[in-house]
Each structure stands twice: as C-alpha cells, then as structure tokens.
Chains A and B, each alone.
Chain A
C-alpha cells in the first residue's frame, strides 16, 4: 500500500538549534517527494520537492531535505530554527511517472520552538 509515515507527532526545538523531521514512504512507482508547511488555519506552502538528480535538495526558508532511496526516507532539516518556524509540517509523495497526480500526505509533525 502507498503511504507516508511521519514518526514524530510533535517535536520541540530550542530556537537556534538544528532540526530534523523524519519522513518514510512506501510507494510502488518512482516517487515524487514534497515537504509542505502549514500555519494554523492556513493553506499549504511548498518548502521543497524532489523529483530526480541530486538527492540533497534545497528549499525556501533555509530548509533542505535528503532523499535516501535505500531507506525510503526524505528527511527535512534546518541548521538553525527560528521561532517563526513553529508550524505543522507535512511530507507527501506523488508519482514521478504520472505527473500531476494527487498527493499522499503523512499525518504531519507539529514543530514547537522554545526560547
């Protein structure tokens, strides 16, 4: 079955500390991977995506993610977290072979930032 797992429901990080949000996927076809951020009551903002090529992708707001095919993972990282990064983060997967298909989302990880 196709699925996305985000093992951490809630993470608290001190401001200025590094961050890693985990994402594992199960997908029958070549995956197209995404990370989105959602602030309370708001829509989704795309942080970054991976389709092919370099397995380390850079996104907006200083985020990056690394695709590891052997581990079926696409973890999101940021070297220094800011208080404004507190939000809900969703990992999602789509089909790279059928572009423009609906995405399968993980259940999300809530990030809290402490001062």
Chain B
C-alpha cells in the first residue's frame, strides 16, 4: 500500500526558533497534500492544503506567515513553524492524495516548544 512518511517524528525546540517538518509520499506522486493539527485529546483539524507548484490554501484562523508550507515536488511537502511558541506544541499530521484520489496519512510529528 501507499506509504507517507514524516520527519522528524518528534522534535523539541526553544521558544522563538523555527522548525521544519517534512512529509513525503514514498511510493506515489501526490499533487495534493494536507496538513492537520491535533491537540492532546482532540480531533484532527485541517490547517492547510498543499498543492505542488502553487501556494498553499490555509483554513480560516491559521496564520500563513507562521505556518509556511512548501510543496516543491510531487513527493515532498514541508511545514515550517516559524518563531514557535509553547502554544504551537501539537501533533502535526500530513496526508497525501494519490492518483486514485485516495488519502494516506503520515505517522505524525510531535512538536514540543519549551
């Protein structure tokens, strides 16, 4: 089956620093990837839609200048949390859409901002 990876799986950083999270589709090409955020004991909330070769589309309330998304190739999307603060601590999950419009989720990245 299709595999989506995320790197790193967990990261701890100091407040004010930036963190980059990678989402890769390992065995298929994905023109569309999604970034979700999950707070503890909460559901997944869509943050943005990442389309290869174009600007990401952000959901209402998500700051595009804080959560920079780059979908530079058909197998890689990156999410950069800029000037991270403790309230950005969360579980970030990406998903990728294959040619059959099936959605596959990555294993998630745990971000802790101190």
A residues sitting closer than 8 Å to B (CB atoms) are 36, 41-44, 46, 90, 94, 99-100, 102-108
Contacts and interface: CB of A to CB of B under 8 A. Distances in A.
B107 A42 contact: yes
Interface in B47-106: 49, 93, 95, 97, 101-103, 105-106
B43 A100 contact: no
A43 B43 contact: no
Interface of B: 32, 34, 36, 42-46, 49, 93, 95, 97, 101-103, 105-108, 110
A103 B107 contact: no
Given A102-B34, A102-B49, A44 B93 contact: yes
> Which of B34, B43, B93, B97 is most buried by chain A, counting CB atoms within 10 A of its CB?
B43
21 contacts: A36-B105, A41-B110, A42-B107, A43-B106, A44-B44, A44-B93, A90-B43, A90-B44, A94-B103, A99-B101, A100-B97, A100-B103, A102-B34, A102-B36, A102-B95, A103-B46, A103-B103, A105-B45, A107-B42, A107-B43, A108-B43
A38 B64 CA distance: 28
A1 to B, nearest CB: 13
The 9 closest A-B pairs by CB, nearest first: A99-B101, A100-B101, A43-B107, A100-B97, A44-B105, A105-B43, A107-B43, A43-B108, A102-B46
